[in-house]
Structures are given as structure tokens and as C-alpha cells.
């Protein structure tokens, strides 16, 4: 029997941790909201035919954000045979609000009370049997981080699906709300049955004013008028609006359930510790300087202490491997053109990028520690005031933080934002956050021109990206995106010790992504660059490289960059290949300059006559349009090719202007 479970719950309740435990998957687990932005599927280990789908974390089934729409549409479909609802036992009242809504869906369901170890460790307790009787569904205590209770959870979930055990209770209301819901149920019963939507769930959504549900049920205008009168009567009787009335109804029931089954410990030890730490880290004055100081320390460790040493060792290994390949090809008598293609093309291009792998792994290991402790959620909170000045809320900083790793998942993470205005504006600003693919460019330029100030230059680039994003935000706020930002409500998780498994998992995922890109996109780009460098427009081999297609194309584009201080054709050609993948800029320069892996920094002085021109190049690479994969994500999320192209032109123009100002202002100042 094939069984598919929907795994649903609030944000930051341990949902993805449980998913990884159930499936053996390696999904990224983050201690801040917005990690899961689309559903992920996997097979439950040791249970053949059982599958689970990890849905975006949400607080209700009201369609305010794209993630809530994704979760609700999936739960209403026929795909999931049952629901595993995971709830944070230390915040049980808030978590049960979503539970009551999912009970109304009338599907076999199990409630997993996660973080019970923290609840018990702080002196609290939950009477699982009493809560199960009140809710009418099985309740299983678990600790996803350790795996306690997970086997019992899976066994019970499979049992309720195989025996089609539906929630025993769906009516949580009384008084005016009770009359309103049951009146609406009678009106829409036929429509709900035809649309395949549970009638009580449909009724509560219509009372809340859910336009998507009204459209799905295809209710006649006359019936909608009757429903409106029913809602007005309820509001007048209760003296409150429709949404508040239903929220009060649910929370009144939840309070009764908790009175009978929950003994609160007050604040858990983790929460008490978090309050004390937050007095410092989220201080309205010191919060941002502390964040900048922490990031400066991260860069100093990555690029000053650990990264260079590891990269040097790795580089030695790469050079040795290339030497072996070179000797083997020479011994085999391979033709000169093929020998050059393999050594000067593929090996030089891929090897130049691979040498930066240890540095990138170290950086993301340190960032994963910050994320796993819960500090990154505090950064979003601290940045709220700053982002509100440009018309966004602190919630937008979560996708921007993800953008420091890769723009593609960051753009997808904007689905967690509540309004179309906030979503589109955030998408436009994400590419200004420097992604990890640009790190090889920064590293080689710093080695060449700023070897004693690498961490400072790195910090300056990241801060410059943020400042440019803020300036562009001001521009957009006063033109294309007038209006107020959405209200900002963010749950700050308790500080926890970072999980070694989670940190190592993220480190491995980043390394794997880098290796896959190196041996696919960078490999192909290196081959193409070699061909362009050795063929003319008639596809004949050239004896003089200046007659090649690449030189001709580079010289045609190079004048555009001359006012920025780097008008050599090699720079123009490298920036072109960077549109495929930013790492390709380094591999292209390595091939064009005819250097071995790790020796590029020593010859860059011939392309950049001064440190100022190098800074200008860094500013341009920081800000110009992202790679094609990121642009495809923009096209998909914004729904318009024209808007995506407009963004490409806009951002590249900003990059050119910023680099022009830096170079020419520096020249005037005699730098």
C-alpha cells in the first residue's frame, strides 16, 4: 500500500529536522523561519511504500503568503493520505491554532509534540492522553533532534491511514460563531462536495472572507449575499470583526485543552538564556555594530587564518594531479591541440576554481554555526528598522541572508513574504547581496592587490552590496513600489548549541554544489573559452591568438569598461563568461593569461594598472547582473520575462555607474 503523508507545522518547530530523520534526506535545517519554501518529498526509512512531503512552515491555512497557498492547496488535494502535524511543545497554545484548522480538513491525522525534552527538562509536562481525547486525534511526544518517539510516531501515522481513522472532533465553537458556521455549512454543502473541500473548513474560510475559497466553490452571488448577512449578524452580536471572532473561538477552545493537559514550566531554560543574550545582541544601538563585528571575525578566520592554508594544500594537490595528467598525455603521444584542450583548457579552468573550495567550505561552516544557534533570526529583527526606511520589513532580510549563499534559493524564499509589493521589491534587491560564487573572484583579486587586508576588503564588499541595496531600495520606494511595508512578526527561536550534523551537512551541501558546478558549468565554459581562444570566425585553428574569435569579441566589448579602469579585452571576456557562472570569471582569466592553477594573482598586474582599477573591477563584479540560473528564478517568481530583462539591464547599469564613480573619484583624489 502506497501512503503519502503531509508534514505540516509552524515555522521553526523542527519540521525539516523531522523530515531528515524520517527520510535520511539532507535538506538544509536552519534555526530561522523561511528555510522550506517549496515542498520536498522523500521515502520514510524502513517503511516500504510510505512517503512524506515536507511543506513550508505556516501559522494558519489562510492564504496570506505564497507558502501558505502552497501548503493549503496540497493539503486540500487528494495526494496526502494523512497528515503528520508537528508542533513545538514549548509553545503549544500557538501551535495548536494550526492544528484545529487542519483537523477541519477531515483527513487521518497525528499530532507530533516536538521538543518534549526541553519541556520536561524545564519542569513542564503534557498529559498526552488528555490532549488526545480533547482534540480527537492521536498525540505522540517526540524529540526530533535526538529521534526519541519518532518510531512510535510513524507507526501511529501508518495505523490511522490504513484504518482510515478520521479526527473524532471537528466542532470547537459555541454561541454566535457556532450559529454562523453551521448556517454557512447548510448553504455551501453541495458546492463543497462538488469542489472536494470539507464543508466545515470551507465554511470557516468563507466567514473569514477568503476570496480564493469563494472562487473555488463557485458560489452564486445570491448565496454570497446571504453569507455576508450571516457574518454581519455574528460581528454585531460579538462586537468584533469576522477574523477576530474565529480566532477567539479557536483560542478559547485551545485554552480549555491546555488547562486539562498542560503544566507550564514558565520559561524554559533555553528561553531564559535567550532573553539575557538578546538584551545585548538585539540592542537598538549595539545590535548592528555587533553583527558587523561578528561578520568581520568570520571573514578574518576564513580569509586570513584558516582558508589560505587549506587552499594552499589543496592547490598543491591539484597541481600534482594536473602534472600527472600532463605527463600521461605526453607519454601517450596525444596530438598537441588535444593536449592543449585538456591541460590549458579543462584542467586550467576547473583547477583554478577548485583551489578555492576549502575557503568556501570554511566560510559556510562558520555561517551555519551562526544560523544553527538562532542568531540569524536576530539579525532579521535588528535589521527591521533599517529596512523599514526603504519600504520593507525585517522579514525581507531572511531571503537576503540566504542570498549571501546563492541568489536562486534566496529568490525562491521571497514566497514567505506576505505581499506582492514586498516580494517583487525584495527580489530586485537580493542580487546586490554578494553570493558565494563571487568569492573566488574576490579571493584572487585580494591575493594580487590587498594581501594584507583581505578580511577588510571582503567585509567592505559585503557592506557595499548592502548599502547599494539600501540606496536602490530608496529609489524603488519613491517610484515603482510606493506604499507601506507589510507588518513584521518574527518568532525568535531560543538559542541552542549548533548541531554538528547540521553544520557538517550544510558544509557538505555547499561543497557538493561547488564541485558539481566546477565539473559541469565551469568545465563546459573552459572548453568553450579554449575553442574561442584558438579558433577564428571560420572555425580554423589560429597560430596567432590575436586572430581568434575571443579576442575579437573581447576587443569589441572592452571600450565599455575603459572608463572604469579595466579596458583590456581579457577582462571583458571574463565578465561575459561570468553570466553563466560567476566562478567562470577566474577560470577564464587563468586560461587567457596562460597561468597555472594558483598563479593568476601574480600576473593580474598586467590587466589592472593600479589597485584603484582592481577595486573598480571588484565593485562591478559585486553588483552586475547575476548568473543565468538566478535570472531564470527571477523570471519564474516575477512571472514576466520583460520584468526579468528589465532587472538585468537595471542592475548592470547600477554596477557600471558605481564602478565609474569609484574609479574616477579615486583618480581625482589621487588614490
Tell me what pLDDT residue 501 has: 72
pLDDT band at 117 (very low <50, low <70, confident <90, very high): confident
- Cell 466567514 belongs to 207
CB distance 206 to 184 below 8 Å: yes
**Pairing outcome for strands 125-126 and 82-88:** unpaired
Q: Evaluate if pTM is beyond 0.75.
A: no
In three-state secondary structure terms, 361 is helix
Could you tell me which residues are beta bridge partners of residue 86? 9, 112
Domain 175-263 has CATH 1.10.287.1770: yes
Element holding 225 (H helix, E strand): helix 221-238
In whole angstroms, give the CA distance from residue 554 to residue 544. Answer: 16
pLDDT band at 263 (very low <50, low <70, confident <90, very high): confident
Higher pLDDT, 114 or 367: 114
- From the number of C-beta atoms within 10 Å of its C-beta (0-12, 13-18, 19+), residue 2 rates as exposed
**Grid cell locating 330:** 605526453
In whole angstroms, give the CA distance from residue 258 to residue 237. Answer: 27
CB distance 376 to 30 below 8 Å: yes
CB distance 358 to 307 below 8 Å: yes
pLDDT beyond 60 at 97:
yes
Tell me what pLDDT residue 584 has: 82
pLDDT in tens, 540-549: 888 776 778 8
Under DSSP, the state recorded for 105 is: T
pLDDT in tens, 194-225: 988 999 999 999 998 888 888 889 888 888 99
pLDDT in tens, 606-644: 889 899 999 999 999 999 988 877 888 888 787 778 888
Cα dihedral sign, 383-389-390-394: positive
Under DSSP, the state recorded for 95 is: H
Residues in Cβ contact with 9 at an 8 Å cutoff, skipping those fewer than 6 apart: 15, 57, 85, 86, 87, 88, 95, 98
CB distance 224 to 231 below 8 Å: no
Mean pLDDT of 502-530: 79
Query: Dmax over Cα atoms in the chain, in whole Å?
Result: 93
Any idea which of 35-44, 294-303, 389-398, 619-628 has the lowest mean pLDDT?
35-44
- Cell 521589491 belongs to 425
CA 455 to the chain's CA centroid: 25
Beta strands (DSSP E) in 249-313 are 262-263
pLDDT beyond 80 at 505:
no
CB distance 127 to 260 below 8 Å: yes
Provide the percentage of residues in the chain whose pLDDT is more than 90. 27
Mean pLDDT of 27-42: 58
Q: For 165-214, give the secondary structure using H, E and C.
A: CCCCCCCCCCHHHHHHHHHHHHHHHHHHHHHCCCHHHHHHHHHCCCHHHH
Under DSSP, the state recorded for 353 is: H
pLDDT in tens, 152-173: 999 999 999 999 999 998 788 7
In whole angstroms, give the CA distance from residue 553 to residue 531. Answer: 13
pLDDT in tens, 358-410: 887 888 788 788 877 878 778 777 877 777 777 777 777 778 877 787 787 77
In whole angstroms, give the CA distance from residue 587 to residue 575. Answer: 11
Q: How far is the first Cα of the chain from the last one, in angstroms, to the nearest whole number?
A: 73
pLDDT beyond 90 at 296:
no
Dihedrals φ, ψ of 367, to 5°? -65, -35
Average pLDDT, the chain: 84
The CATH number, out of the four listed (3.20.20.80, 3.40.630.30, 3.40.50.300, 3.40.50.2000), of the domain defined by the range 3-162:
3.40.50.300
Tell me what pLDDT residue 32 has: 47
**Grid cell locating 210:** 477568503
**How crowded is residue 665: how many other Cβ atoms within 10 Å of its Cβ?**
11
CB distance 434 to 655 below 8 Å: no
In three-state secondary structure terms, 231 is helix
Under DSSP, the state recorded for 564 is: G
pLDDT beyond 60 at 34:
no
In whole angstroms, give the CA distance from residue 511 to residue 517. Answer: 10
pLDDT band at 485 (very low <50, low <70, confident <90, very high): low
Tell me what pLDDT residue 598 has: 62
Tell me what pLDDT residue 563 has: 94
**Pairing outcome for strands 262-263 and 125-126:** antiparallel
Mean pLDDT of 266-285: 78
In whole angstroms, give the CA distance from residue 599 to residue 590. Answer: 8
The DSSP code sequence of 44-92 is PTT-TTEEEEEPPP-S-SS-SSHHHHHHHHHHHSSS-SEEEEEEEGGGH
Higher pLDDT, 44 or 455: 44
Tell me what pLDDT residue 31 has: 45
The domains spanning 3-162 and 175-263 adopt the same CATH topology: no
Tell me what pLDDT residue 162 has: 94
**Grid cell locating 611:** 589597485
pLDDT beyond 50 at 526:
yes
Element holding 554 (H helix, E strand): helix 549-557
Under DSSP, the state recorded for 602 is: G
Tell me what pLDDT residue 616 has: 95
Which among 75, 133, 88, 150 is positioned nearest to 114, based on CA atoms? 88
Higher pLDDT, 502 or 467: 467
Q: Where are the domains of the chain?
A: 3-162, 175-263, 287-487+503-668
In whole angstroms, give the CA distance from residue 370 to residue 281. Answer: 12
Amino acid at each position: 500500500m502506497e501512503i503519502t503523508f503531509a508534514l505540516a507545522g509552524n515555522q521553526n518547530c523542527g519540521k525539516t529536522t523531522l523530515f531528515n530523520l524520517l527520510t535520511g534526506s539532507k535538506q538544509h535545517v536552519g534555526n530561522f523561519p523561511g528555510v522550506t519554501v517549496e515542498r520536498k518529498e522523500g521515502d520514510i526509512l524502513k517503511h516500504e511504500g510510505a512517503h512524506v512531503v515536507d511543506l513550508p512552515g505556516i501559522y494558519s491555512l489562510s492564504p496570506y503568503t505564497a507558502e501558505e497557498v502552497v501548503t493549503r492547496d496540497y493539503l486540500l488535494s487528494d495526494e496526502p493520505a494523512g497528515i503528520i502535524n508537528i508542533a513545538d511543545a514549548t509553545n503549544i497554545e500557538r501551535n495548536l491554532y494550526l492544528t484545529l484548522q487542519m483537523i477541519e480538513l477531515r483527513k487521518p491525522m497525528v499530532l507530533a509534540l516536538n521538543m518534549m525534552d526541553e519541556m520536561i527538562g524545564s519542569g513542564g509536562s503534557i498529559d498526552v492522553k488528555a490532549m488526545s481525547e480533547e482534540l480527537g486525534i492521536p498525540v505522540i511526544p517526540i524529540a526530533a533532534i535526538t529521534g526519541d518517539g519518532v518510531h512510535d510516531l510513524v507507526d501511529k501515522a501508518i495505523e490511522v491511514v490504513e484504518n482510515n481513522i478520521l479526527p473524532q472532533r471537528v466542532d470547537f465553537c459555541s454561541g454566535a460563531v457556532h450559529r454562523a458556521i453551521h448556517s454557512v455549512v447548510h448553504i455551501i454543502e453541495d458546492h463543497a462536495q462538488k469542489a472536494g473541500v470539507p464543508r466545515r473548513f470551507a465554511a470557516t474560510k468563507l466567514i473569514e472572507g477568503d476570496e480564493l475559497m469563494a472562487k473555488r466553490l463557485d458560489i452564486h452571488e445570491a448565496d454570497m449575499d446571504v453569507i455576508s448577512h450571516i457574518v454581519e449578524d455574528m460581528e454585531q452580536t460579538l462586537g468584533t470583526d469576522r477574523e477576530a471572532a474565529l480566532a477567539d473561538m479557536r483560542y478559547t477552545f485551545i485554552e480549555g485543552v491546555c488547562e486539562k493537559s498542560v503544566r507550564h514550566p514558565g520559561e524554559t531554560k533555553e528561553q531564559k538564556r535567550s532573553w539575557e543574550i538578546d538584551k545585548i545582541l538585539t540592542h537598538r544601538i549595539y545590535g548592528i555594530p555587533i553583527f558587523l563585528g561578528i561578520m568581520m571575525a568570520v571573514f578574518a578566520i576564513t580569509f586570513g587564518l584558516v582558508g589560505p592554508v587549506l587552499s594552499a594544500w589543496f592547490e598543491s594537490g591539484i597541481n600534482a594531479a594536473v602534472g600527472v595528467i600532463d605527463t600521461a598525455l605526453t607519454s601517450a603521444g596525444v596530438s598537441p591541440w588535444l593536449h592543449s584542450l585538456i591541460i590549458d583548457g579543462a584542467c586550467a579552468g576547473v583547477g583554478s576554481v577548485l583551489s578555492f573550495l576549502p575557503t568556501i567550505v570554511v566560510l559556510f561552516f562558520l555561517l551555519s554555526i551562526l544560523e544553527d544557534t538562532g542568531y540569524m533570526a536576530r539579525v532579521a529583527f535588528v535589521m527591521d528598522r533599517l529596512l523599514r526606511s526603504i519600504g520593507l520589513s525585517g522579514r525581507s532580510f531572511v531571503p537576503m541572508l540566504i542570498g549571501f549563499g546563492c541568489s536562486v534559493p534566496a529568490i525562491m524564499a521571497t514566497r514567505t513574504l506576505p505581499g506582492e509589493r514586498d516580494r517583487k521589491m525584495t527580489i530586485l534587491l537580493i542580487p546586490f547581496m554578494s553570493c558565494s560564487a563571487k568569492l573566488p573572484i574576490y579571493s584572487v583579486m585580494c591575493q594580487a592587490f590587498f594581501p594584507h587586508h583581505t578580511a577588510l576588503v571582503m567585509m567592505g564588499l559585503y557592506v557595499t552590496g548592502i548599502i547599494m541595496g539600501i540606496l536602490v531600495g530608496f529609489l524603488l520606494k519613491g517610484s515603482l513600489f510606493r506604499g507601506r511595508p507589510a507588518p513584521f512578526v518574527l518568532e525568535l527561536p531560543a538559542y541552542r548549541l549548533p548541531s554538528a550534523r547540521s553544520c557538517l551537512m550544510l558544509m557538505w551541501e555547499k561543497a557538493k554544489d561547488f564541485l558539481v558546478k566546477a565539473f559541469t558549468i565551469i568545465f563546459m565554459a573552459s572548453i568553450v573559452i579554449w575553442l574561442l581562444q584558438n579558433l577564428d570566425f571560420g572555425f580554423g585553428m589560429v597560430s596567432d591568438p590575436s586572430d581568434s574569435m575571443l579576442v575579437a569579441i573581447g576587443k569589441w566589448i572592452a571600450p565599455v569598461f575603459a572608463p572604469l579602469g579595466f579596458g583590456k579585452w581579457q577582462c571583458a571576456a571574463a565578465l561575459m563568461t561570468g553570466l553563466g557562472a560567476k566562478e567562470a570569471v577566474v577560470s577564464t582569466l587563468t586560461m587567457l593569461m596562460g597561468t597555472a592553477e594558483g598563479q593568476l594573482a601574480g600576473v593580474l598586474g598586467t590587466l589592472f594598472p593600479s589597485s584603484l582599477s582592481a577595486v573598480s573591477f571588484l565593485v562591478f563584479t559585486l553588483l552586475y547582473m547575476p548568473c543565468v540560473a538566478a535570472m531564470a528564478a527571477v523570471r519564474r517568481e516575477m512571472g514576466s520575462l520583460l520584468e526579468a530583462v528589465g532587472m538585468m539591464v537595471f542592475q548592470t547599469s547600477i554596477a557600471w555607474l558605481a564602478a565609474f564613480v569609484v574609479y574616477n573619484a579615486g583618480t581625482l583624489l589621487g588614490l
